[in-house]
Structure 1
Amino acid sequence: MSWRPRLVALDIDGTITPVGREDVAPAVRAAIGRAVEHGAHVVLSTGRSLIGTRPIVEDLGLDGTTALCSNGAVWWDTAERAVVRQLDFDPGPPVLTLRDLLPGAVFAAEVTGFGNLSLGRFPDGDLWGEVREVDLAEFRARPTSRLVARWIGRTPEELALRMADVELPGVTWTLDHTEPWLTVAPRGVSKGSALEELRQRLGVAADDTAAIGDGHNDVEMLRWAAHGVAMGQAPATVQQAADAVTGTILEDGAATALDHWFGA
């Protein structure tokens, strides 16, 4: 019998859904279902907040597994329908640094399961859940598991150039390759680190793991997996971190990769 992973980590945006949307293509949905039927632990591993992840979990009918949200800072038990782990940080120091670096940027701090506090106004549809605009003092007062920044009127390339070699106090950050968007997580937390801890808890061997993703926040996950697959539209740096490259999101590339392991 050909090799099949026992733990499959799937990014959401740009991998199983178009960015910012909730519709999973029929071929991808069917391929995920086959992986579950073969007994694989299918884990959604995403930069999305919990409130943006839950509709995908429910739509796919994933039960008895864990969804890793906010780049691994928030763990959602899909059977218990409860947060079983949450790592927070103080948003004040990184926000103060980023306000100087990115004039005109707007910021949002996740309120897990509900929405966001925002510092400035985001474009409609950018954030999931309830959004409450607050002043700097209130924004800094509440720890969060996920901080995001959008540099209004700038490009992803401008943001990447401005953030080159920047270290933010006490946190880890990643950039989006399609929008001028930056995501901040607690220091040392990534999709890769969260998946390694989950793998050990599940008792899955390191060489029985696979992952599929398309973004810069997927690099650690792709390197973590015994077999990492980058989507066809992923930036070159992401593809270089993977063991293989599949089709694009428009070509149902995630389904192609999953069907290689679990059959069509």
Structure 2
Amino acid sequence: MTDAAWKPRLIALDVDGTLLDPETGLISAAVKAAVHRAIADGGRVVVSTGRTVLGVAPVLDELELTSGFALCSNGAVLLDVASREPVSVETFELAPVLAELADRLPGVIFAAEDLGVGNRVTAEFPPHQLEGAQQLATVDELAAVPVPRLIASWPGHQPDELVEHLSGVELPSCTYTLDHYEPWVTVTPEGVSKGSALEKLRTELGVLSSDTFAAGDGDNDVEMLRWAAHGVAMGQGPAAVHAAADEVTLPVAEDGLAKALGRWFR
């Protein structure tokens, strides 16, 4: 947006790599201040993340957000910030995608979201990678329960290997994105993304499509950046994310989000 009088009214912010620096595990004072300036000026901030409800809770606490909405599990779960209760949940059947990923990624392990509890896993994940309890389960047991989010991790491999194996592949009856930090596939219901969930929320809130802003750094942010009237990619993100945005800001380690928001909220 080049109109000097324009200000975003619906502001969608990714967590890891955008609000929060993965290297430090912290949200900087500059970024917190920028977020609160936007709220004070009437902006509706929506934390939009691949994290589960459990994983987003400490972020909401650190930002001191007490109202509004958050999008979790890449848009599959809409959370009421005040009550910390899900407003809506989209789920999908796991059996077809489990079979396809097991065939394409030998040695893959799975984590199926158990909403508000943790994950049912086919093998234990490192504690820092998943939020909440991990309950061991077989692939058949995972397939028996529809879920909002599935994680497929390919231990012993690099993210670029995962991209090579799944490039151009359409997995059955789902939407998936790849992580550029870990060899992970994040799977959500078909047609569900941060972008689709934000469009639904925008309509319900009565915000004009021309008054939307989004910032992110990952593959799972691409649809969100395209959705926004003004999309900002973080400097450390990959080229595909930069290409989806209207602007590339500084990396998260240099408070790029604060710089981007500062244009309108001083």
Normalised TM-score (structure 1)? 0.97
| Contact 1:13–1:20 under 8 Å retained in 2 | no
Question: Which residue in 2 is equivalent to 1:110?
Answer: 113
Question: Which residue in 2 is equivalent to 1:165?
Answer: 168
Q: Is the aligned partner of 1:17 residue 2:20? A: yes
Question: Which residue in 2 is equivalent to 1:133?
Answer: 136
C-alpha deviation, 1:20, in angstroms: 8.6
CA deviation profile, 1:99-123 (whole Å, cap 9, x unmatched): 1111111110001111000012222
Secondary structure of the residue aligned to 1:262 is coil
Q: Is the aligned partner of 1:81 residue 2:113? A: no
C-alpha deviation, 1:17, in angstroms: 0.6
Question: Which residue in 2 is equivalent to 1:194?
Answer: 197
Counterpart selection for 1:39 from 42, 50, 66: 42
Q: 1:170 to 1:93 in 2, by over 3 A?
A: same
Q: 1:122 to 1:81 in 2, by over 3 A?
A: closer
Aligned alpha-carbon RMSD (Å): 1.2
Question: Which residue in 1 is equivalent to 2:187?
Answer: 184
Secondary structure of the residue aligned to 2:187 is strand
Counterpart selection for 2:66 from 63, 67, 71: 63
C-alpha deviation, 1:22, in angstroms: 5.0
C-alpha deviation, 1:58, in angstroms: 2.0
Matches within 5 A, 1:249-260: 249-260=252-263
CA deviation profile, 1:73-110 (whole Å, cap 9, x unmatched): 00101123210000001112101110111111111000
Counterpart selection for 1:96 from 81, 96, 99: 99
Separation in 2 of the partners of 1:21 and 1:47?
A: 19
Unaligned segments of structure 2, at least 5 residues: none
Separation in 2 of the partners of 1:262 and 1:2?
A: 12
One-letter code aligned to 1:186 = P
C-alpha deviation, 1:60, in angstroms: 1.1
| Identity value in percent | 52
Separation in 2 of the partners of 1:125 and 1:79?
A: 26
Separation in 2 of the partners of 1:74 and 1:183?
A: 14
Question: Which residue in 2 is equivalent to 1:240?
Answer: 243
C-alpha deviation, 1:18, in angstroms: 2.2
Normalised TM-score (structure 2)? 0.96
C-alpha deviation, 1:133, in angstroms: 1.1
Q: 1:31 to 1:73 in 2, by over 3 A?
A: same
C-alpha deviation, 1:149, in angstroms: 0.9
| Contact 1:13–1:21 under 8 Å retained in 2 | no
Q: Is the aligned partner of 1:152 residue 2:160? A: no
Separation in 2 of the partners of 1:180 and 1:162?
A: 11
| Contact 2:124–2:134 under 8 Å retained in 1 | no
Secondary structure of the residue aligned to 1:261 is coil
Unaligned segments of structure 1, at least 5 residues: none
Secondary structure of the residue aligned to 2:20 is coil
Separation in 2 of the partners of 1:163 and 1:121?
A: 24
Separation in 2 of the partners of 1:181 and 1:247?
A: 25
| Contact 2:120–2:134 under 8 Å retained in 1 | yes
| Contact 1:211–1:229 under 8 Å retained in 2 | yes
Question: Which residue in 2 is equivalent to 1:222?
Answer: 225
